[in-house]
Amino acid sequence: MAAYSYVALDARGKKKRGLQEGDTAKVVRGLLRERGLTPLEVTEVAQAERAGGGFRFERGLPATTVALFTRQLATLVRSGLPLEESLSTAANQMEGRRVRAVVMGIRARVVEGHTLAHALRDYGHIFNEMYCATVESGEQSGRLDLVLERLAEYVERRQELQKKIFAALSYPVILVLASVGIVSFLLASVVPQVVGVFTSMDAELPPLTQALIAASDGLRENWVVLLVLLAIAVAGWIWAMRQPRLKERWHRVKLRLPLVGRLERGVNAGRFTRTFSMLVSSGVPVLEAMQICARVVSNLPMRYAVENAAAKVREGAGIARSLGESKLFPPITLNLIANGESSGELDEMLERAAHNQELEVDTLINAVMGILGPMLILLMAGLVLTIVLAIMLPIFDMNQLVR
């Protein structure tokens, strides 16, 4: 039995959308007719989700929605409800037709006899391999409720970190856009009207005023060319970031930049240790956990370092020593992992390492914002001051210009 989304007409000719379970699309159409509905479109949920890719790109679900679903499912399973009933209840609790359709599609696969992890893998663009592997380990160990609770906490913490980074980046981006907008408006609209008085005079203008007039004329006459060049630059950057070699070189450059490199290293190390801790504590084998963790590391050199370390661990080497050879992970993280290996408390040490890295990232974000914010404000003030001076200098020399 599978879940189908449908579009049908009722007795009044109004369109209705909803979900219906059935063995085939033909069976679902029959069930709809029994309810007095005329089916127009019946599509299997899983098939519709897979077809959502292609040129439209596969759409995932917000991290908040995934965390809420995971938390509700963990609560329902812990209360003793069967998994099928828990999924049905969770679907009714969720808001949004697409979310409910996905959950009902997962339930339909479970009813057919598949494991929850197998059903989740049908929606790989929503539930990544780390999520599915963790659920699979919970099912195999009989601790699905506990694993789901840990998974919900993991998703919530990761979302919180992403919010902090987004909030830190949004402020300087807004300042830069505001600066560019204000300066462009002044050069294109205000400056030509003001300096037009001076250009009609047969006198030499100050160099700063001449440069301002040249910049204003260039912006007004070539703004289309500038927009085209900007579009080409953005398209070229997107293309370059899709080339593995160029992307890896850029990521290596970021690791060498002051402050930015520490932030990049801290974010990825924290993501790696947090995911590794959650997988190990959920019962996932260490080697498989490392292979999964490599996929959540966004920095390519650090991802390759984790993959190489996993290959060496397979040969019998230690985790901390294998990671340390790349010299990309913070020493305190490696020391905590080494202590966890020797004491047999790897999951606890990984948890401490993740917590330490997240605190360091918070400190670095505050430090970067404390420096970048005032610098951008000063830069914006300097640009506006330069434009004002370029306009005022000829006025100060007005007597000489008239003479």
Domains of the chain, residue spans: 2-56, 64-146, 147-403
Cβ atoms of residues 72 and 148 within 8 Å: no
- pLDDT for the residue 271: 85
CA distances from 144 to 82, 84, 102, 155, 181 (A): 12, 14, 20, 16, 53
DSSP structure string for 241-254? HTSHHHHHHHHHHH
- pLDDT for the residue 246: 92
Residues 6+ apart with CB under 8 A from 305: 323, 325, 326, 328, 329
At the fourth CATH level, which superfamily is domain 147-403? Type II secretion system (T2SS), domain F (1.20.81.30)
List the chain pLDDT tens, one digit each, 403 residues.
566 777 777 777 777 776 666 667 777 777 777 777 777 777 776 555 555 443 333 456 777 888 888 888 888 888 888 888 888 888 888 877 778 888 888 888 888 788 888 888 888 778 887 788 888 888 877 778 888 888 888 888 778 877 777 777 777 788 788 878 877 777 777 777 766 666 666 556 778 777 877 877 777 788 788 889 989 999 999 999 889 899 999 999 999 988 788 888 988 898 889 888 888 887 888 888 888 888 888 899 999 999 999 999 998 888 999 999 988 998 999 999 999 988 888 888 988 998 888 888 888 888 777 787 788 888 888 887 887 777 777 766 665 545 5
- pLDDT for the residue 173: 81
- pLDDT for the residue 56: 34
- pLDDT for the residue 92: 82
- 38-44 vs 2-9, strand pairing mode: antiparallel
2-56 domain in CATH 3.10.20?
yes
- What are 350's two structure tokens? 């990984």
64-146 belongs to which CATH class?
mainly alpha
User: 7 in helix, strand or coil?
Assistant: strand
Q: Tell me whether the CATH fold assigned to 64-146 matches the one assigned to 147-403.
A: yes
- pLDDT for the residue 54: 35
